[in-house]
Structure 1
Amino acid sequence: MYDQTNRSTWIKGKQRACLMLLLVTLCVLSGCMPSWLLGTSTANRAPTNTNKNITTTDMSSPIHYDIDATLDERAHTIHATATITFRNVFGRSLSELLFHWNVDSYRFLNEQPTMYKAVNERLRVTLETDGNKGAAQVDNFVGGATTHQVVVGKQLAEFEHKRQMLNIQLPKKLAPNETIQLTIKYEVSVPYGAQRLSYMKDYVGGTYWTPQLAVYNSIEGVWNQAPVYTSYNSDFFYAADYTVKLDMPANWTVVTSGQQVSQPAARTTDGERSPEHKQAQPHRQHIYAEARGIRQFVFYASPHWGVTERALQQGGKLIAVGSQPTDDQMNKDIDLAQDAVHFFTQKFGPLPSQTLTFVEAPLREIFDSTDGVIVIGREGGQNPLQPEQRQMRILQLIAKQWFQAAVGSNPHTDAFLAEGLSQFAADYYLFERKNVPWPQRVQRNEGSSGGNSAHGDASGGGSNGLSGNVRKFEAVTTLPITLPLTKARDQAEALYRWKGSLAMAIWAQEVGIESVDRVMQAYYTRYSGRIASVDGFLNVVAQTLDSDHKGRLYHLLNARTPL
């Protein structure tokens, strides 16, 4: 006889499942990815449980990377073991886990990101001129990862490493809310020159040296496998927790993400922790660092750096690391950073990290902004940036701590959120603090070589000292800012950064500064530590102000005409 009670239970269960699917779908459409991204970012905050066993309840994210790495500074390689604890929060069973190996984008010269091609070519010519063998030196400009072994639990696992991805087949399906631990043994060859991971004489560092869990679309059941985009920063990672041990040369100053801590207890094979007995070898040092809720773990090191610190007005500190950390240029940079962090904190919300570290790169063309760490080269040589150009670069890099590190987004579909909002934040600072006018609408001047852009000339001049190619900017004025990255191609920066920030400046002048502050604070509060979308940002506008203001901004972001 058919059990009516069981039938009722089955119907209720099905209704709950349908309701959950509906809620997840609405969450995705509103720009909030269904994941652990329900708490605020805690990047660079010292964990409270540094001497406890790490369990899933201690984690701010269901991904924890425990990495033990050794730098061979002579061979320019990193030998590492990553023990990854992952809890399945995707609502469906998984038979595989996919990780990005973005360092593989340096494997072939013709596939490397275009951003640094010119400076690397200049370096190559210099090496050949100095008498080094050009053919041998070419090998130094490439790098990549080699995966040696993957262990899931205590069982060797099958894996495939190709096209910048590591595909790991699980011995059995991972059910929803189940936790798994896997260990990846690998080594990374670090390229010479200018890259987001590179080495030069007495310098090494960057990102991309760890495997990164790919973003999973739980509705369609597919992993993001997009490779590094050659002409634009296309990083798309979850916020995760890290415990890292670095074996480094003893006399080198080492900067890392997160907080460097005293030696923690070591993890044993059964997941428990026991005292670490191994000491560093002669002329070596062990660096221990822990971080919560960051998108990528970076390190930078050199034997020639000094360190200086300053207190931030709202708490925390700024750290400057470089060959001359107290000279006039670094002092000006830190003065600007100190005021900018205070301004952005008032306008948007607290700095995502307790510490913001500025690291001096060996080349002025190298600059980057990751969780709690900003890299910027020293000016000098040919065609140095003008002071107002350097100021603008620093401001945008600082703003990315809020709109790229803390708030994540998919650069292939929502690049405006990181580039446009961070550039708008820099414009906002200059308008409020330096009395620099807002960027203006595009005005074509047929008598000039390129016309007047809202953001200055190709070398970064103009009243605001912004760096944007005039002709390229004008070429994208008929393209919508919401255009996918694959269609924007080499016009991406002009479209997302310059036209995007111009759209925000126009909208800000229409709605007023107080309304802008309310929206930006609400957006940051909602999406810090999460993954946002342009639709989600617009929904914040509607909820904070009204649908008319949302409609106006929607029109500006999707305009196929000059702004």
Structure 2
Amino acid sequence: MRLGSTFLRTGAAAVLLAAGVAVTADLLAGPDAAAPAPAAAAAPAASTDGIALAAPNAAAVQVASSQNAWGGARTGLEPTLSDRVVHYDIDATLDPVKHTVTGREKLTWRNRSSVPVKSVYVHLYMNAFEGAGSTFFTEKRQREGAFRSGVEIKEGEWGHIALRTVTQGEATVPWTFVHPDNGPATDHTVVRFDLPAAVAPGASTLLDIDFHTQLPRVMARTGYFGSFHLVGQWFPKIGVLELPGERGATAPRWNAHEMHLNSEFYADFGSYDVRISAPKEYTVGATGEPQGAPVEKNGMLTHRYVQGDVHDFAWTADKRSSKPMVETWTGPGSPNVTVTVLYPPEYAASAAPAMKAAKDSLTYFSNTLGPYPYKTLTVVIPPHNAEEAGGMEYPTFFTAEGYARVEPDLMNQYMLDFVTIHEFGHGYFYGLLANNEFEEPVLDEGLNEYWDLRMIRERGQQIHAASPFMRRIGITPSFDAFAAERTGTPRNDPADAPGQNAYDRLQDIGPVYSRTATLMRDLEARVGKEPMERAFKEYYRRWKFRHPSTADLRETLAEVTGQRAAVEAVFAQQVYAVTRVDDRVAELTSREQLPLPGTRQAGSNWVEDKQDDIDKRVEKEREAWKKANPKAKEGTGPYPFRTEVLVRRNGAAVPQLLTVKFADGSVENVRWDANESWHKFSWTKPAEAVSAELDPQRSHYLDVNKLDDSRTIKADASASRRWGMDVSAFIEYLLTLIATV
């Protein structure tokens, strides 16, 4: 998921604030729904098998998973890429006028545990949009400011998913709505099926489910606008049964959280065989590989898509789509990949740039993390007024952003590229690594943001922040992507650890993106770019098609970089906790060490050195020294200089380098790694100091203020003028943007 987009929604607000700019139904019924199963209950009851649910406040795991978690690391010798736990066989029919999907689902689930399972938990995510009483909308009301771009659902635009029948064999399955996170009783996004026949250890069960989904007007991730339909989280989807040694579990437990405002999804790997019926004039795209030509019947075309080793399935249908753009890509270790871009006529200019960014992403992620294992990739550009469907990821399928004009010197070129790269990147961190996005969004949104910005950096791509007027007069400031990301994270008063869960956050979800990307960039600067990349390649190798935890990432980074102390310190300070980083050069003095007045012993006598006599002697010695050293640099002379630098620390101890430059061209470098609030360094040298700078290599982007990292002996306003021009240019661009949306 892109945070609308990440930089503009976080960095923009931070810069504006710094500049002083103010920033301010019945589920089971419906017009076409059948009568609900009579066993459905309104109040939760205890599970019949005693298997607990994950805690409502579960967050980043601190204990590494066992080596055989999720069946152990995949070697490539197994018959399937993942250990397939679930299989979905679904028939879905779209009514594009009523914006409904009628579905029949055969859900096959395997019990991996050593205990019989009598109850299973199923997500009904679409019920987040059934009304204002859902957990999603309850949290939205409590949120300050607009959610994403601020689109609201109006009367007649709500969505829901209704269970019509659920059976196991010939027996009806009763269900109960439950609230794993203690959400409101009016939330219906998690349901428990109490099975007539328990599922024995190692055995599988088949559930037949008839359901009816009403799509909402798209305001977040899924829905319709006009003839455009993005159909995501549209079918009953089983939760994850975690076993001891997996993500900190010590006993079998179900992980099935409510649909929160900011959280996304978590599911088992499996296989999908989905048949989608839509009017024949509609262009359809979906997760997975199309199976032959669509079959026509009664004016409808049925499209069949099959995909194994994924944990979700989404699709789109629109009668306004232009002819799809289709190209191929291949890379070492990957199959030939068919890349398809679906786009509306008004955003035709975005199709080719989106294709290029997608193929570039395939190359970069395959080279830096590991081969892309699937044969398809579908990019969907939503139409005008359906932008809230943009920036969303599903396996082999994602939505990007569209623009009527895309030019290199316009901000929209960067935004189109970045959102495409970002959503593709989710295919690795959310898709192939498949972390729990409810509890550990740092592993998806955070790591993905970091890896996306690495790709942007490798491309040499800058953020251009110039309005048309500024370009006409020749002012075209640009920003490095990591530097821009830094502005979007709370640094002075951070409240939420990046490892906190997605929904229980004081400062919202934005810092998961920006602070994680920044702290990982800082860790890379500390341990080295090449070791960091090797470590992430190993993380991907070990944990693809499994479900790693934060602790599993920590252990891989520590082991492969060979810098365990550094990695563990960063995770303790900035992942499991959140700590202010604020080091600065508080004082810089460099004083000539002249003779001083007073008395001194000369033989048996005491002689007084008077100030007037000292001044005359100093003047004479300076004149003589200048004659002897006619090309001497300013700041040097016959007397030494004592230089003192006072550094202050108001936050976490981070390894710092202090560089002091002197008038004679010499340089002193000293480490400051101690956990202390201040330190004073001093040198006596034959030259005056020119400047003192902490972190000259810019290793610590989490630092509150990089402008106070350095001082000069003589006043120099060039830096403040440059930063002032850049910030004002950036603010002008943002105000222009705000005026046009």
TM bucket (normalised to shorter chain) is 0.7 to 0.9
Confirm or deny: 8 A CA contact 2:277 2:300 kept in the other structure: yes
DSSP-derived class of the 2:205 partner: strand
Q: Find the counterpart in structure 1 of residue 106 from structure 2.
A: 83
Q: 2:509 aligns with which of 492, 507, 511?
A: 492
Aligned to 2:255: 224
**Matching residue of 1:391:** 417
Q: Greater share of helix residues, 1 or 2?
A: 1
Within 5 A, what are the aligned runs for 1:212-251? 212-218=237-243, 219-230=250-261, 232-251=262-281
Q: Name the counterpart of 2:210.
A: 185
Q: Is the 8 A contact 2:401 2:420 kept in 1?
A: no
Residues 157 and 169 in structure 1, CA contact (< 8 A), matched pair in contact too: yes
> In 2, Cα distance between the equivalents of 1:549 and 1:59?
33
- The 1:169–1:38 alpha-carbon spacing in structure 2 relative to 1, beyond 3 Å, is farther
**CA separation in 2, counterparts of 1:175 and 1:28?**
31
Corresponding residue number in structure 2 for 1:173: 198
Whether the aligned pair in 2 keeps the contact of 1:41 and 1:528 (CA below 8 Å) is no
Q: Secondary structure at the match of 1:488?
A: coil
1:267-294 superposed Cα distances (whole Å, 9 cap, x missing partner) = xxxxxxxxxxxx7432101111111121
Q: Are the aligned partners of 1:88 and 1:176 in contact in 2 as well (CA < 8 Å)?
A: yes
Q: What is the match of residue 352 of structure 2?
A: 331
Q: 2:432 aligns with which of 403, 406, 410?
A: 406
Kept in 1: contact 2:85–2:110 (CA 8 A)? yes
Amino acid across the alignment from 1:484: N
Amino acid at match of 1:337: A
> Per-residue displacement from partner, 1:387-417 (whole Å, max 9, x unpaired)?
3233322222121111111111123332111
Query: How far did 1:60 drift?
Result: 4.7
Change (3 A) 1:309 1:28: same
Larger radius of gyration: 2
2:125 is the counterpart of 1:94: no
Q: How far off its partner does 1:59 sit?
A: 8.6
AA in 2 matched with 1:120: V
**Paired residues for 1:317-396 under 5 Å:** 317-324=338-345, 327-362=348-383, 363-365=386-388, 366-379=390-403, 386-396=412-422
1:376-397 deviations in Å (ceiling 9; x for gaps): 232369xx96332333222221
Q: What secondary structure, in the 3-state scheme, does the structure 2 residue paired with 1:426 have?
A: helix
C-alpha distance in 1, partners of 2:343/2:218?
18
* CA 1:466–1:172: 2 relative to 1, 3 Å: farther
Q: Which residue of 1 aligns with 2:498?
A: 481
Distance 1:254 1:464, change over 3 A: same
Asked which structure has the greater RCO (Cα within 8 Å, sep 6+), the reply is 1
Unpaired runs of 5+ residues, structure 2, are 1-60, 141-145, 179-187, 244-249, 464-477, 582-701, 703-741
Alignment match of 1:561 (pick from 580, 590, 593) = 580
**Displacement of 1:559:** 4.3
- Between stretches 82-91 and 466-475, larger displacement belongs to 466-475
Aligned-partner residue type, residue 414 of structure 2: E
CA contact (8 A) 1:80 1:185 kept: yes
Matches within 5 A, 1:161-310: 161=177, 163-218=188-243, 219-230=250-261, 232-262=262-292, 280-305=296-321, 306-310=323-327
| Partners of 1:97 and 1:416 in 2: CA distance | 27
* Partner residue of 1:550 out of 567, 574, 590: 567
1:160 lines up with 2:176 in the alignment: yes
CA shift, 1:469, in A, is: 9.8
Superposition CA RMSD, Å: 3.1
CA contact (8 A) 1:214 1:224 kept: yes
Tell me which amino acid in the other structure corresponds to 1:425. Answer: W
Compute the TM-score of the two structures, normalised by the length of structure 2: 0.58
User: What is the distance in 1 between the residues matched to 2:106 and 2:492?
Assistant: 47
Secondary structure at 1:82 match in 2: strand
For 1:47-58, list aligned pairs within 5 A: none
Residues of 2 paired with 1:104 and 1:40: CA distance?
39
Q: Distance in 2 between matches of 1:465 and 1:287?
A: 42
Give the partner amino acid of 2:536: M
1:250 positional shift? 1.0
Aligned residues of 2:70 and 2:83 also touching (Cα < 8 A) = no
Query: What is the CA–CA distance in structure 1 between the aligned matches of 2:306 and 2:346, rounded to whole Å?
Result: 25
Query: Contact conserved, 2:81 with 2:545, CA < 8 A, in 1?
Result: no
Alpha-carbon separation, structure 2, partners of 1:322 and 1:433: 25
Query: What is the SS of the residue equivalent to 1:195?
Result: coil
1:312 aligns with 2:349: no
Residue identity in the other structure for 1:78:
V
The verdict on how the C-alpha distance between 1:471 and 1:498 changes in structure 2, with shifts beyond 3 A counting, is closer
**C-alpha distance in structure 2 between counterparts of 1:158 and 1:302, whole Å:** 36
Report the Cα offset of residue 353 of structure 1: 2.3
Contact 1:364–1:380, Cα closer than 8 Å, also in 2: no
Question: Which residue among 132, 151, 157 is the counterpart of 1:120?
Answer: 151
Displacement, 1:526?
1.3
**Residue 63 of structure 2 is aligned to residue 29 of structure 1:** yes
CA drift at 1:470: 4.9
1:423 deviates by 0.8
> What's the CA shift for 1:79?
0.9
Q: Distance in 2 between matches of 1:320 and 1:515?
A: 35
Alpha-carbon shift at residue 118 of structure 1 (Å) = 4.8
The one-letter code of the counterpart of 2:412 is: Q
In structure 2, relative to structure 1, the CA distance for the partners of 1:161 and 1:80 (3 Å cut) is farther
- 1:125-170 superposed Cα distances (whole Å, 9 cap, x missing partner): xxxxxxxxxxxx5122x11111111110222222224621221111
Q: Contact 1:247–1:285 at 8 Å: present in 2 too?
A: yes
Quote the residue 1:518 is aligned against: 534
Distance 1:520 1:249 in 2: 45
Q: 2:156 is paired with a residue of what secondary structure?
A: helix
**Offset at 1:355?**
1.7
> Within 1, Cα distance between the matches of 2:193 and 2:303?
29
Q: Structure 1 residues 76, 364: CA separation in 2 closer, same or farther (over 3 Å shift)?
A: closer
Residues 513 and 471 (structure 1), Cα distance of their counterparts in 2 relative to 1, 3 Å cut: closer
| Alignment-derived partner of residue 519 in structure 2 | 503
Question: Bigger CA drift: 475-484 or 163-172?
Answer: 475-484
Aligned AA for 2:481? N
Contact 1:317/1:355 (CA < 8 Å) preserved in 2? Answer: yes
User: Quick one: structure 1 residues 38 and 80, their matched pair in 2 at CA, closer, same or farther if it must change by over 3 Å?
Assistant: farther
The answer to whether the aligner puts 1:105 opposite 2:128 as a matched pair is yes
Residue 542 (structure 1) shift = 2.6
Hey, what does 1:528 align to over in structure 2? 544
- Cα pair 1:145 1:189 within 8 Å, conserved: yes
Tell me whether 180-189 or 154-163 shows the greater mean CA deviation.
Answer: 154-163
- Which residue does the alignment assign to 2:468? none
My pick for the range that moved more, 163-172 or 533-542, is 163-172
SS at match of 2:417: helix
Q: Is the alpha carbon distance of 1:358 and 1:41 closer, same or farther for their aligned partners in structure 2, counting shifts above 3 Å? A: farther
Which letter maps to 1:354?
K
Identity of aligned residues (%): 16
Alpha-carbon offset, residue 533 of structure 1 = 0.8
Distance 2:539 2:357 in 1: 25
**SS of equivalent residue, structure 1 residue 138:** coil
**Separation in 2, partners of 1:66, 1:263:** 19
Retained in 2: the 8 A contact 1:519–1:545? yes
CA distance in 2, matches of 1:117, 1:427: 21
The aligned amino acid for 1:194 is M
Q: Distance in 1 between matches of 2:120 and 2:133?
A: 29
1:346 CA drift (Å): 0.6
Residues 545 and 463 of structure 1, relative CA distance in 2, 3 Å threshold = closer
Q: Is the 8 A contact 1:207 1:298 kept in 2?
A: yes
Structure 1 stretch 468-477 or stretch 331-340: which is displaced more? 468-477
* Separation (CA, whole Å) in 2 of partners of 1:325 and 1:334: 17
Distance in 1 of aligned mates of 2:283 and 2:523: 45
In structure 2, do the counterparts of structure 1 residues 96 and 41 end up closer, same or farther at CA, with 3 Å as the change threshold? farther
